[in-house]
Amino acid sequence: MAFLVVGSNSTAAGSAPAGWLPTGLGVLTANSISLQAWWRICVGGESGTQSVTGLTSGTKGAAWVQVYRPVMGGTLDVTFTSGLDTDTTSAAYSASGSSWAALLDDRIVAFDLSNTTVGTYSGSASVPTVTHAGATVTGSTSRFTGVTGTSTVNYNSTDAAVSASGTGAPTFTATMTTATSAHGAGPTIFARITETMPPKAFGRTLTRTAVGRAGNY
């Protein structure tokens, strides 16, 4: 399963290449930065460059492809929710999605874009963490992160495994590393990946390979 994530300071809706499916979330905008994502089931052997068009008037942003795979011979399914951080008074970032049921061994992924309209970032966000209000999640890991847009945009992808099922809202938190009084605010997309096993199969273990191409402009 692959995800195509694009964020920029364009508020226009981008168009993904053929074969990519919408998340149903549309364009998420907060603090003068927008975020979109698409997904697809891979068949193996995919290669080449993916281009998103239609981001008119954008001057800064980031885009990447991120891939996850099953390990038990099952089929991956995904659901989405989103959250916004609109607080521009501090470098702390926090966004929560809508409530959903997270199952044992699910993977919760947070795709995040933070923008500052004052000052600059001096580096990637620190302590990026995925939590869940009802389930127990462990091993929050930032798959990649960086700064672009003349050090005013921080992009991040962090995931965590569900070790105990529960129902509640997912939350992504981090602290922006600031150079000159910058703040942290923007949109976050949450993906919950579940591996569904064929009949008579036992166990539901999901691992990930956060590989692919990341780009910024």
Structural domain boundaries enclosing 11:
2-216
The pLDDT of residue 204 is 53
Domain count, the chain: 1
Residues 6+ apart with CB under 8 A from 152: 60, 115, 116, 117, 120, 121, 182
The pLDDT of residue 200 is 60
The helix or strand, by DSSP H or E, that contains position 130, with its residue range, turns out to be strand 121-132
pLDDT tens string, the chain, 217 residues long: the values are: 999 999 999 888 899 889 999 999 999 999 999 999 999 999 888 888 899 999 888 889 999 999 999 978 889 999 999 999 999 999 999 999 999 999 999 999 999 999 999 999 999 999 999 999 999 999 999 998 999 999 999 999 999 999 999 999 999 999 999 888 899 999 999 999 999 887 664 555 554 444 334 444 3
Q: In this structure, are residues 186 and 88 in contact, taking their beta carbons and an 8 Å threshold?
A: no
- Give, in order, the Cα–Cα distances in Å from 61 to each of 79, 135, 155, 158: 25, 32, 8, 18
